[in-house]
Structure 1
Amino acid sequence: MMRRMPAKRTFAAEIYSVKEVNDRLVSATGRALKRVFVTGVLVDVTERNGVVKAQIFDGTGKLTIFCSKYQPEALVALKSIDAPAYVAVVGRIKAVDGKIFVRPEFVNTITAKEHELWLREAIYATDKALSAEVDLPHSEEERQRVVDALERAKARLQELTAS
């Protein structure tokens, strides 16, 4: 029986840092990313020619997701959610013509508390990945963008827990 690769808790800023290395997408933290688990605020949903494009803001940036009839569960979910709303997305990262996006497998609405828990876990995972000594094809500037995004996420978590 073939097992799915686990989805990694990942911020938009890290997703947009990926580079293709030996047929793998590697982020500026050094993590190989294929399936990701992202939460944030669904801020926009548009549909054109049977393809739904959605924007999710996770505190580090806006993540673009695209789905069509080939992702029926995600398509139905996105069409039924009124923005703005907290959502959780599990999907695969795609790189096409230099553009990075996520093709969702699942989209669900979540509570602010669930988003806060995800944020805490994603901060931990990103911190852990950044502390590992790995040889990366990324510039120091690209890595610093992820570090800066992580600091914004930590500040967002403090805002959420203070209220």
Structure 2
Amino acid sequence: MKAFLVFSLLLGATSVLAQVKKTYTEEEFVKKVNEEVKKKVDVIKNKSVSDLTKEILDKEEKVRLRELELQKREDSLKVSENDLGKKYSEFEARQKAFLGCVKRNDEESKGRVGQLVELISNMKPEKASDVLSIQDPDVAVQILQNIDTKKASKIFNFMDKEISAKLQKQYLLMKK
């Protein structure tokens, strides 16, 4: 430690001397270096060992507090990351359940429309036109879409002209 201190003081002294544009003999140079080293050592001696120790302890305490703060942040980030992971898993589970319900609802709706198609297909065109005329237009179009084309045209012929035109327009729009 002392050697390092002396070496650093020598370097500091030489840098100070380098700034001065004086030319020294070797003896003068050594003398000047020794004077500069002595000045630096005196400055260090003037600071008591207890002051230096106190400075070191203060710096160590600051480092320790900073490390604790960083550790708390890291722990907090881990907790937040775990919470986020759990929420993401819960969200995925809810999404799968929701999509499952939507899919099941679509399948059930298609099944009900299929049953209505079968029912309407077995009716006479006059009776089928009466039933479809009062049915929800979207459902009526879905049913007509799945019925044989000849049967659908006969049903359209027996319907009221306004209702028939409305359903045919919707039917054409669904086909596109």
TM range (shorter): under 0.3
Q: For the pair shown, which has the larger CA radius of gyration, 1 or 2?
A: 2
TM-score by length of 1: 0.22
Relative contact order higher in (CA < 8 Å, ≥ 6 apart):
1
TM-score by length of 2: 0.20
**Structure holding more strand per residue:** 1
**Structure holding more helix per residue:** 2
